[in-house]
A and B are shown apart, each in its own frame.
Chain A
């Protein structure tokens, strides 16, 4: 550590600047590489039911599942806080289990995004549910879905 630029006066003035610059760039580069590596592993992808049916995610991978809550599928278990329901997109259906307090606008026949993991038995274990809050605050996925898929989905669920 002692052969630093200031300790060796022979070193030209430009050199310390260069050393600092190189350190800064190396660290930032390391940060960028670490970020890219981590994002490939940790980003949670958005699925609709037909995609889960076609190509299910790995059991321990956090994903988001978006679709319509099928009418008549909502069940509450005996403990009063665990619910089960089916999310569908008109092509495929995925059973979902969720333990928690549901958002106020979570109702059958409406859109939902569930965050969680797909269990080995094909049930989606949701850790969090996102539903439409109000006209100004709609999760992106639901909004896009109502634009692209709503007519088909609504026609089938009505």
Chain B
């Protein structure tokens, strides 16, 4: 019954999307006046119906209704409740339903609250949003129906991949999807502006909160995903340049560029066509990411099921949406008149450099991600990893970070570098001192060395825009920029330090043996069996002493899940202010020849990672900066609306 209700709401939502698209199209062409009034309510209802469908699926998973095929394939009655709930989106169909739900709700929200734009532009935006949604509704209904029933319910479900049975699953996919789909709203705004030829500051101000919101969620999603991979995989790394990671990084890069260019458009009415183009590119990257992850063209824990039909479907959607948008852009680009001009040395100039560098990094990552697919089509199997991505992205990231130190200090329109030379000299000296100091005391690779020199320089430069300002009267948006830029410095320092100073030990230890790693003295006290709700495990009890301090107990586990049968290693982390101890238990080492039986040795892998947690702390700060800016922008918009209403009210009273 619940499954049928969910399916019915999904069909209804799709039907309403058709209505929304047709109504917007007809009204814009002046064919029907009456239809103009239905667009907003239809968009809201469509979002609510998508929400209902999603709620139905959540309910089915919580009850473990095994007569539904999706639940039987991906859930298990003995699973802890939180993973039953999160398991709703831990599979292909459920995650696509989450996608269309967020998209529908976002469209409904725009329809509900957006008051600054002309009716024509709003209609065009919602019409395009319906068009994009419709593709995904079709995808769900025709090729990945989440509510499909089984003829006879199996006695037990097949369970969820143990790697996904982690609290991270509850947060990582929804945040990333909010980010991806937030960009779809920016995309629709860009198309709306192109259709109605209203590319200007008003459009930029309406689009900015959506770009900011999407960007915040993408930042959180990537940061959380990176930390998740770090502790769940037990490989000690935090970024592998895996195609799936790249799929989330590429929209972030495009959204970061868009975020900066939309500020230029809102404040200075420049970079019009470029901003629209980035709006198209940002959502294209979201769709490319979805295609790469969901089509099964890549092998990964994210590719839930390999089904060529689905890949073709997403590819077709991608071609229609992006092809259509680019064709429209080509037709209308010449009608987008040039915005205000600016000098090369100016805030706009710095932001153009930021945009160009981000686009170049995006190109490099995209190229490196697609190259193995292209090569395979031509018969060669290759894989592209850190030796390509690290230096190539640094090639453009380093100049961009240098500009980041200077850009926020420059004035809009035109400025001279000589004016800010005394402000710049402090961070530059700090950067040079750090570079020399690190080079003198440690022998490390070039890239971490550059990072360790750049990070303190950026940290100082990022707070310079606050100089001479009254902290209480500084706008939230400026605070946001400062916090986010500072977060980049923090994160960069963590990455460089982790890469330069990490130490690793791999040993086979008897109970009672000790291992020295960096400043740590680690003793294996015991190995004991433990049991969880749907797994059993071997647990190593380690006493870890930092530089002679009191012992900390860390307990890495090697878990055996039985539904589905799979072994995972649960790394144990101990965090200090200056770094993280990372311990993995492998298993029993095979007996060496000539050893007595009962002389068991256990494989232990230990890392000491100085300042590694700063990587994710920095990511959190970047997101917090975005949040501050968003609050500032939205509050300013609300104030403006309230003031407008007051004026209108006074006029009305005077007119009486």
> Mind listing 20 A-B residue pairs with CB under 8 Å?
A1-B344, A4-B343, A6-B343, A23-B352, A27-B357, A27-B359, A32-B367, A34-B395, A35-B392, A42-B385, A42-B387, A43-B384, A44-B384, A44-B385, A46-B383, A64-B383, A81-B508, A101-B587, A101-B603, A133-B566
Asked if A27 meets B305 with Cβ closer than 8 Å, knowing A38-B392, A43-B388, the reply is no
B368 engages A27 (CB within 8 Å): no
Asked if A7 meets B564 with Cβ closer than 8 Å, knowing A31-B360, A76-B590, A80-B603, the reply is no
Of B391, B396, B592, the contact of A78 (CB 8 Å cutoff): B592
Identify which of A85-93, A118-126, A137-145, A149-157 touches chain B: A137-145
What's the nearest-Cβ distance from chain B to residue A28, in Å? 6
A43 engages B375 (CB within 8 Å): yes
Q: Would you list which residues of chain B between 588 and 610 have a CB under 8 Å from chain A?
A: 589-590, 592, 601, 603, 605
Identify which of B201-209, B296-304, B324-332 touches chain A: B296-304
Closest to B567 in A: A104
In the complex, whether A20 has a CB less than 8 A from a CB of chain B is yes
Given contacts A39-B371, A81-B508, A102-B586, 11 further A-B contacts (CB under 8 A): A5-B341, A13-B338, A20-B274, A28-B363, A35-B367, A38-B391, A43-B384, A80-B601, A134-B565, A136-B305, A137-B299
In the complex, whether B377 has a CB less than 8 A from a CB of chain A is no
A1 to B395, CA, bound (A): 23
Most chain B CB atoms below 10 A, which of A35, A77, A134: A35
A45 to B565, CA, bound (A): 32
B392 engages A6 (CB within 8 Å): no
Asked if A46 meets B586 with Cβ closer than 8 Å, knowing A79-B508, A134-B161, the reply is no
A134 engages B566 (CB within 8 Å): yes
In the complex, whether B345 has a CB less than 8 A from a CB of chain A is yes
In the complex, whether A99 has a CB less than 8 A from a CB of chain B is yes
In the complex, whether A30 has a CB less than 8 A from a CB of chain B is yes
> Which A residues contact B (CB, under 8 angstroms)?
1, 4-7, 13-14, 16-17, 20, 23-24, 27-28, 30-32, 34-36, 38-39, 42-46, 62, 64, 76-81, 99-102, 104-105, 133-141, 143
In the complex, whether B584 has a CB less than 8 A from a CB of chain A is yes
Closest to B585 in A: A101
A16 engages B338 (CB within 8 Å): yes
What's the nearest-Cβ distance from chain B to residue A51, in Å? 10
A6 engages B352 (CB within 8 Å): no
Residues on B with beta carbons closer than 8 Å to the beta carbon of A81:
506-508, 586, 589, 603
Asked if A42 meets B360 with Cβ closer than 8 Å, knowing A4-B344, A80-B601, A138-B299, the reply is no
A139 to B357, CA, bound (A): 34
A136 engages B304 (CB within 8 Å): yes
A43 engages B371 (CB within 8 Å): yes
B360 engages A27 (CB within 8 Å): yes
Q: Would you list which residues of chain B between 301 and 340 have a CB under 8 Å from chain A?
A: 301, 303-305, 338
B568-591 contact mask (Cβ, 8 Å, vs A): 1 or 0? 010000000000000010110110
A28 engages B301 (CB within 8 Å): no
B439-455 contact mask (Cβ, 8 Å, vs A): 1 or 0? 00000000000000000
In the complex, whether B356 has a CB less than 8 A from a CB of chain A is yes
What's the nearest-Cβ distance from chain A to residue B201, in Å? 18
Residues on A with beta carbons closer than 8 Å to the beta carbon of B566:
104, 133-134
What's the nearest-Cβ distance from chain A to residue B333, in Å? 11
Closest to B366 in A: A35
B381 engages A31 (CB within 8 Å): no
B481-520 contact mask (Cβ, 8 Å, vs A): 1 or 0? 0000000000000000000000000111000000000000
What's the nearest-Cβ distance from chain A to residue B163, in Å? 8
Closest to B380 in A: A45
A14 engages B371 (CB within 8 Å): no
B388 engages A42 (CB within 8 Å): yes
A31 to B395, CA, bound (A): 9
A140 engages B382 (CB within 8 Å): no
A68 to B200, CA, bound (A): 61
Closest to A101 in B: B586
B345 engages A1 (CB within 8 Å): yes
The 9 closest A-B pairs by CB, nearest first: A80-B508, A80-B589, A101-B586, A46-B381, A104-B567, A31-B360, A42-B388, A76-B590, A43-B382
Secondary structure type dominating chain B contacts: mixed
What's the nearest-Cβ distance from chain A to residue B536, in Å? 14
In the complex, whether B414 has a CB less than 8 A from a CB of chain A is yes
A141 to B380, CA, bound (A): 11
Residues on B with beta carbons closer than 8 Å to the beta carbon of A42:
384-385, 387-388
> Which B residues contact A (CB, under 8 angstroms)?
161, 274, 299-301, 303-305, 338, 341-345, 352, 356-357, 359-361, 363-364, 367-368, 371-372, 375, 380-385, 387-388, 391-392, 395-396, 413-414, 417, 506-508, 564-567, 569, 584, 586-587, 589-590, 592, 601, 603, 605
What's the nearest-Cβ distance from chain B to residue A27, in Å? 5
B506 engages A100 (CB within 8 Å): yes
Residues on B with beta carbons closer than 8 Å to the beta carbon of A141:
381
What's the nearest-Cβ distance from chain A to residue B217, in Å? 27
A139 to B391, CA, bound (A): 26
B343 engages A7 (CB within 8 Å): yes
A6 engages B605 (CB within 8 Å): no
A137 to B305, CA, bound (A): 9
Residues on A with beta carbons closer than 8 Å to the beta carbon of B360:
27-28, 30-31
B413 engages A31 (CB within 8 Å): no
What's the nearest-Cβ distance from chain B to residue A94, in Å? 17
What's the nearest-Cβ distance from chain A to residue B3, in Å? 24
Residues on A with beta carbons closer than 8 Å to the beta carbon of B304:
136
Of B341, B342, B345, B382, the contact of A44 (CB 8 Å cutoff): B382
Of A27, A45, A99, the contact of B506 (CB 8 Å cutoff): A99
What's the nearest-Cβ distance from chain B to residue A144, in Å? 8
A32 to B395, CA, bound (A): 12
A23 to B342, CA, bound (A): 15
Of A16, A36, A101, the contact of B605 (CB 8 Å cutoff): A101
A123 to B367, CA, bound (A): 33
B338 engages A14 (CB within 8 Å): yes
A125 to B384, CA, bound (A): 19
Residues on B with beta carbons closer than 8 Å to the beta carbon of A102:
586
Residues on A with beta carbons closer than 8 Å to the beta carbon of B303:
137
B368 engages A35 (CB within 8 Å): yes
Closest to A113 in B: B383
A23 engages B363 (CB within 8 Å): no
Of B372, B383, B414, B584, the contact of A6 (CB 8 Å cutoff): B414
A17 engages B368 (CB within 8 Å): no
Of B352, B385, B387, B564, the contact of A20 (CB 8 Å cutoff): B352
A30 to B359, CA, bound (A): 12
Residues on A with beta carbons closer than 8 Å to the beta carbon of B345:
1, 4
Residues on B with beta carbons closer than 8 Å to the beta carbon of A7:
343, 414
A32 engages B363 (CB within 8 Å): yes
Residues on A with beta carbons closer than 8 Å to the beta carbon of B364:
31, 34-35
